[in-house]
């Protein structure tokens, strides 16, 4: 008798215990009757972990902080968009060959467009990691004037140079004006929920403030922005959007977006009640 095992998927990162990707994708698998399981893998040694992924026959995985750039070194092929971004958040295992893609850019831009068309806007992207690269790429493609700000100015300058955009230091933000502000850093993420990535003085009425952190759903940045009468976009839209695109790359099946969103929201709302 041959034992038929479920297909295995997962998210790799460090840290990764906070990730709700397993909640989102396992809900989708159950809803569609797909025999698969999605886990979370804390990975410090990426090279060894990637060899393990191949050896175990893991069918696909999501890549999060801090591995979105380095993971490209261990893939067999990377699609054109991910190459231009310089970061991968999605890996598909096709018969032992690993293919990298990036669903962060469309996931984020679709969420942002629910509040504003970025074309012609001045957008400040805070951070310079893999997610920041995807956001800068997407915003430039959409016709926005993009400015990058990162704690390490050297890393911020490299990102800005790669995409031909401006870089600004944190010490200049008090005088900086933008139409859109996007936080791509983990500042404000559970459990350090009381922190903000930018000074409060930067937030003004009418601007759009987006935080890609989704745990908690309402970060300190978004709460302060709302109090200062800015429009806010939480991280759930991008998280579900990029996750739905990942699901479709892995399975070839249309993602049950409403079910994925409901599963994640239920967990976030329960956490808010516990912490109230």
Least confident residue range of 138-142, 145-149, 189-193, 219-223: 189-193
CB 107 within 8 A of CB 239: yes
Active site residue 68: yes
Q: How far is CA 211 from CA 30, 111, 263, in A?
A: 29, 11, 20
CA angle 223, 226, 227 (to 5 degrees): 85
Considering the chain, what is the average pLDDT of its residues?
A: 94
Q: What is the mean pLDDT of residues 249-259?
A: 97
State the pTM of this model: 0.91
> Taking the alpha carbons of 233, 189, 27, 63 in that order, is the dihedral positive or negative?
positive
pLDDT at 187: 93
Instruction: Average the pLDDT over 178-197 and give the result.
Output: 91
For residue 106, which phi and psi values (nearest 5 degrees)?
-65, -35
- Can you list the positions of beta strands (E) in 14-96? 36-42, 60-63, 77-78, 90-94
pLDDT tens figures, 54-104: 999 999 999 999 999 999 999 999 999 999 999 999 999 999 999 999 999
Q: What percent of the chain has pLDDT over 70?
A: 97
Write down the catalytic residue from 5, 47, 59, 68: 68
Q: What angle do CA 230, 236, 240 make, to 5 degrees?
A: 140
* 11/182 Cα distance (integer angstroms): 23
Which pLDDT score, from 0 to 100, does residue 27 have? Answer: 98
* Band of residue 3 on the pLDDT scale cut at 50, 70, 90: very low
Rounded distance between C-alpha atoms, residue 104 and residue 135, angstroms: 7
Residues above pLDDT 90, as percent of the chain = 87
Kindly report the number of other CB atoms within 10 A of residue 55's CB atom.
9
- Please report the domains of the chain, with CATH numbers, ordered by start residue: 7-102+242-275 (3.40.50.10860), 106-234 (3.40.50.720)
Contact 76, 49 (CB under 8 A): no
**Candidate from 11-15, 112-116, 143-147, 168-172 with smallest mean pLDDT:** 168-172
pLDDT given at position 2:
46
Is 126 or 174 the better-scoring residue by pLDDT?
A: 126
Question: Looking at the predicted structure, is the pLDDT value of residue 24 above 80?
Answer: yes
Query: What local confidence, expressed as pLDDT, does residue 172 receive?
Result: 84
DSSP element (H, E) containing 224: helix 220-227
Give the model's confidence band at 276: pLDDT under 50 very low, under 70 low, under 90 confident, else very high.
low
CB crowding 147-168: b at 16 or more within 10 Å, else e? bbbbeebebbeebbebbebebb
- Segment 235-255 shows an average pLDDT of 97
């Amino acid at each position: 008798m041959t034992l038929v095992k479920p297909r295995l998927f997962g998210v790799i990162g460090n840290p990764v215990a906070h990730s709700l990707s397993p909640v989102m994708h396992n809900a989708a698998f159950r809803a569609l009757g797909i025999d698969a399981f999605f886990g979370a893998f804390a990975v410090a040694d990426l090279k060894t972990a990637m060899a393990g992924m191949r050896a175990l026959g893991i069918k696909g995985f999501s890549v999060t902080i801090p591995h979105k750039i380095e993971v490209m070194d261990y893939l067999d092929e990377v699609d054109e968009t991910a190459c231009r971004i310089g970061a991968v958040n999605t890996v598909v295992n096709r018969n032992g060959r690993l293919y990298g893609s990036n669903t962060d850019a469309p996931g984020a831009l679709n969420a942002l467009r629910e509040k504003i068309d970025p074309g012609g806007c001045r957008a400040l992207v805070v951070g310079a990691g893999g997610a920041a690269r995807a956001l800068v790429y997407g915003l430039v493609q959409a016709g926005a004037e993009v400015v990058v700000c990162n704690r390490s100015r050297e890393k911020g300058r490299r990102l800005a140079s790669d995409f031909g955009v401006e870089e600004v230091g944190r010490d200049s933000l008090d005088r900086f004006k933008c139409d859109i502000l996007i936080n791509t850093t983990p500042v404000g993420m559970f459990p350090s929920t009381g922190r903000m990535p930018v000074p409060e003085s930067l937030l003004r009425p009418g601007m759009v403030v987006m935080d890609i952190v989704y745990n908690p759903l309402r970060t300190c940045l978004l709460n302060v922005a709302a109090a200062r009468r800015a429009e806010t976009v939480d991280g759930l839209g991008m998280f579900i959007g990029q996750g739905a695109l990942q699901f479709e790359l892995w399975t070839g099946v249309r993602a049950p977006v409403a079910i994925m969103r409901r599963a994640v929201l239920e967990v976030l709302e329960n956490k808010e009640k516990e912490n109230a």
